[in-house]
Amino acid sequence: MAYTQKNYTYNDKLSTDENLLLNKLFKLRLSHMSEALEKQFLNPNTALEDFHTRISEIIHYEWDQRQNTKFNKLLKKASLKYPTADFDSGLYESDRMLDTHTIELLQKCEWIDEPKNLLITGSAGAGKTYIANALCITALQQLRTVKYIRANALLLESEKARQLGHAYDYTNQMAAYDLLVIDDFGLMELSMDKCRDLFEIIETRDCKKATMIVSQLPVIKWWDLFKDNTYADACLSRMTSKAYRLECNGRDMRK
């Protein structure tokens, strides 16, 4: 365009008054509105449109660009494995054996506001992570904060924070997201210290924020992961109580 992000550059194709108006919008931090108005100034057919249409177009453009900027920032922080995941027609293929009605309801993200947990289980390669990431993107589009992390990485980061004396800060950081997604639950070791770390994270989110757990193991086998029955009871009670469930037991999508 005719200006950079920080400083408006006068456009020789426009009049002095038009340039001054665009510059004022830019200084008011309405750069996208300035951009939309500049396009109108340069379009010889703009006068064919009525005022309401023209001002609506300018305002909508500013709004949409700001929303896109917020979304992209949230998307970057979410650290998704599949940042372009979506719900395409492949979702309805019979050999995927998916409960598409439940998935459609989950896309509304009302379960995040309730808040309730979501447990996604199923065989390897059935598309659990992809569906989880697609749900994350739906939440991000509604400007919710999301964090995707593999269970092993979560526990390693938690352990490191504890060793550095930052366990409290890390736990609160994980507690702040509207949606925390813990993938590959079950593919990690749970020592007593890690059981304690996991409990603290789950406890701080319990009944306050939604957590999504993705696992190859059926929920009934999660008990066997814990080294201590007390922590097994405490964590599983908070993770599974009144949680929504989605099973993915269809064909291997990697083949």
Residue 212 in this model has a pLDDT that exceeds 70: yes
Structure-token match 């550095």, residue found: 164
* Confidence bin at 254 (pLDDT 50/70/90): confident
pLDDT for the residue numbered 105? 97
| Strands, E assignment, the chain | 118-122, 146-150, 179-183, 210-215, 244-248
pLDDT single digits (tens) 2-26: 444 457 788 989 999 999 999 999 8
Pick the CATH number of 89-248 from 3.50.50.60, 3.40.50.300, 3.40.50.720, 1.25.40.10: 3.40.50.300
Average of per-residue pLDDT across 227-253:
89
Q: Quick one: three-class SS letters along the chain? A: CCCCCCCCCCCCCCCHHHHHHHHHHHHCCCHHHHHHHHHHHHCCCHHHCCHHHHHHHHHHHHHHHHHHHHHHHHHHHHCCCCCCCCCCHHHHCHHHCCCHHHHHHHCCCHHHHCCCCEEEEECCCCCHHHHHHHHHHHHHHCCCCEEEEEHHHHHHHHHHHHHCCCHHHHHHHHHHCCEEEEECCCCCCCCHHHHHHHHHHHHHHCCCCEEEEEECCCHHHHHHHCCCHHHHHHHHHHHHCCCEEEEECCCCCCC
Task: Report the distance separating Cα 255 and Cα 121, nearest Å.
Answer: 19
Q: Average pLDDT in the 136-164 region?
A: 97
Q: Residue 71: is its pLDDT beyond 50?
A: yes
Residues of the chain with CATH 3.40.50.300: 89-248
- Per-residue pLDDT of 33-69, as tens digits, reads 999 999 999 999 999 999 999 999 999 999 999 999 9
Q: What's the pLDDT score for residue 74?
A: 97
The mean per-residue pLDDT over the stretch 150-156 comes to 97
User: Which residue type does 8 have?
Assistant: Y
Does 1 score more than 50 pLDDT? no
Average pLDDT over the chain reads 92
- pLDDT confidence of residue 2: 47
Tokens of 149: 């992390």
